[in-house]
């Protein structure tokens, strides 16, 4: 076997480097910063591609029939952007709440205070779901349409039907999305993360899993036009596992840290196993008789009901042994302040 012998200066330098390793708390924050930055870069790349792939404006706009290839490419760009955003959602909501709204607010949230009669411009309804609503305007689930038709100021979703709308979609709506993401990147780059935003943000994101499932019953779920909400939720969990992993060495140094880590790993595994039992990107069909306040045994036995039970349990901060409860315990053990 070939052996490579290193010169003495290199060995001395390596030994000195080993003695100057960063404390695990500092290293965790640097790793989380890099993780978020990488996903913001991916998000930016995806929305830039989305805008680039939007068809050039012409007299009859564009649609999924006459411009099928372009629409499919834009949908793929949108999915890329969506996964990247869900990987950083917990941190972005804390660090940049206004940009989180302009980028990720749902249609009903935007029109709660007033109408938006132009769904292709850069005012009123904006962001990734505004683009989604256009791209999947010909295949919106019936329950979603029924929900939105009951909203004040409702306007039907549609493809751009003329040159002006197509130009607005490409040059206003998508330009605004790219600009907002670019601003996130610019503001995040010099930012020094604190442990609350990094670790507690994950806890908050995990706690929202059950809310996302609940909204499916009424047609209010996040990625409801693309039927991509289950993919969103899986990405949230992936991010939680990654970010928790950066804090794990620090936790393992604490008294009882090894046992605490095992409980958190078990919680993530329970959630992942339930997600793995489901196929596709959409949440399972919600039973017609579903009630989140008092679901029946029959409804809880359905794929949606089984997922709901796991999420309710694991996101409950007061349930002994739940994932969120154990993550809160770990944060307290590490002395990470609670968010205001």
- Tell me the domain boundaries of the chain: 23-192, 194-284+295-340
Q: How far apart are the C-alpha atoms of 31 and 242, rounded to whole Å?
A: 10
Inter-residue contact 50 to 85 (CB < 8 Å):
no
Q: How far apart are the C-alpha atoms of 27 and 23, rounded to whole Å?
A: 6
Residue 179's nearest CA partner among 119, 120, 122, 232 is 122
Q: Do domains 23-192 and 194-284+295-340 have the same CATH topology?
A: yes
Burial class (CB in 10 A: 0-12, 13-18, 19+), 312: middle
Q: How far apart are the C-alpha atoms of 217 and 302, rounded to whole Å?
A: 14
Inter-residue contact 106 to 220 (CB < 8 Å):
yes
What distances in angstroms separate CA 137 from CA 120, 158, 220, 312, one per listed residue? 13, 5, 16, 32
CATH assignment of 194-284+295-340, among 3.90.1570.10, 1.10.3720.10, 3.40.50.720, 1.20.1420.20: 1.20.1420.20
Residue 64's nearest CA partner among 160, 186, 152 is 160
Residue 89's nearest CA partner among 228, 201, 196, 229 is 201
Extract long-range pairs of 52-58: CB within 8 Å, 24+ residues apart.
Answer: 53/77, 54/166, 54/169, 54/170, 54/174, 55/166, 55/170, 56/166, 56/170, 57/160, 57/163, 57/164, 57/166, 57/167, 57/170, 58/163, 58/166
pLDDT tens string for the chain (340 positions)? Answer: 433 333 333 333 333 334 448 899 999 999 999 999 999 999 999 999 999 999 999 999 999 999 999 999 999 999 999 999 999 998 898 899 999 999 999 999 999 999 999 999 999 999 999 999 999 999 999 999 999 999 999 999 999 999 999 999 999 999 999 999 999 999 999 999 889 888 988 888 888 888 888 898 888 999 999 999 999 999 999 999 999 999 999 999 999 999 999 999 999 999 999 999 999 999 999 999 999 889 999 999 999 999 999 999 999 999 999 999 999 999 999 999 887 6
What distances in angstroms separate CA 247 from CA 35, 127, 293, 324, 336, one per listed residue? 13, 32, 36, 15, 11
Beta-carbon contacts of 12 under 8 Å, excluding residues fewer than 6 positions away, are none
Q: Give the pTM.
A: 0.90
Report pLDDT for 90: 86
Report pLDDT for 340: 67
Residue 210's nearest CA partner among 310, 299, 67, 116 is 310
Q: How far apart are the C-alpha atoms of 157 and 122, rounded to whole Å?
A: 16
Reply yes or no on domain 23-192 having CATH 1.20.1420.20: yes
Inter-residue contact 104 to 66 (CB < 8 Å):
no
Secondary structure letter of residue 219 according to DSSP: T
**DSSP, residue by residue, 247-291:** HHHHHHTSTTHHHHHHHHHHHHHHHHHHHHTS-SSSPPPPPTT--
Q: How far apart are the C-alpha atoms of 281 and 231, rounded to whole Å?
A: 5
Report pLDDT for 175: 98
């Amino acid at each position: 076997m070939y052996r490579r012998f290193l010169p003495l200066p290199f060995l001395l330098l390596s030994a000195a480097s080993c003695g100057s390793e960063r404390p695990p708390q500092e290293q965790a924050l640097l790793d989380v910063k890099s993780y978020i930055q990488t996903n913001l870069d991916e998000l930016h790349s995806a929305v830039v591609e989305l805008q680039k792939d939007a068809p050039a404006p012409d007299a009859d706009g564009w649609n999924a029939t006459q411009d099928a290839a372009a629409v499919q490419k834009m949908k793929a760009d949108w999915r890329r952007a969506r996964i990247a955003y869900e990987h950083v959602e917990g941190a972005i909501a804390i660090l940049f709440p206004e940009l989180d709204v302009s980028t990720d607010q749902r249609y009903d949230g935007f029109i709660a205070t007033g109408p938006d009669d132009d769904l292709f411009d850069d005012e009123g309804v904006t962001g990734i779901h505004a683009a989604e609503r256009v791209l999947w305007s010909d295949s919106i689930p019936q329950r979603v349409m029924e929900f939105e038709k009951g909203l004040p100021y409702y306007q039907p979703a549609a493809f751009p039907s003329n040159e002006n709308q197509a130009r607005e979609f490409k040059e206003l709506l998508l330009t605004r999305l790219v600009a907002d993401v670019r601003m996130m990147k610019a503001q995040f780059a010099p930012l020094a993360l604190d442990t609350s935003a990094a670790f507690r943000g994950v806890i908050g994101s995990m706690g929202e899993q059950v809310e996302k499932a609940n909204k499916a019953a009424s047609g209010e779920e996040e990625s409801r036009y693309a039927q991509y909400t289950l993919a969103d939720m899986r990405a949230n969990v992936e991010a939680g596992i990654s970010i928790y992993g950066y804090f794990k060495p620090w936790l393992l140094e604490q008294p009882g840290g090894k046992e605490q880590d095992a409980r958190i790993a078990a919680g993530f595994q329970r959630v992942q196993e339930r997600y793995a039992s489901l196929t596709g990107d959409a949440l399972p069909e919600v039973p017609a008789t579903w009630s989140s306040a008092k679901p029946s045994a029959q409804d809880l036995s359905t794929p949606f009901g089984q997922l709901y039970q796991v999420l309710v349990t694991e996101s409950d901060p007061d349930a002994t042994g739940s994932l969120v409860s154990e993550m809160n315990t770990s944060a307290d053990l590490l002395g990470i302040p609670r968010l205001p």
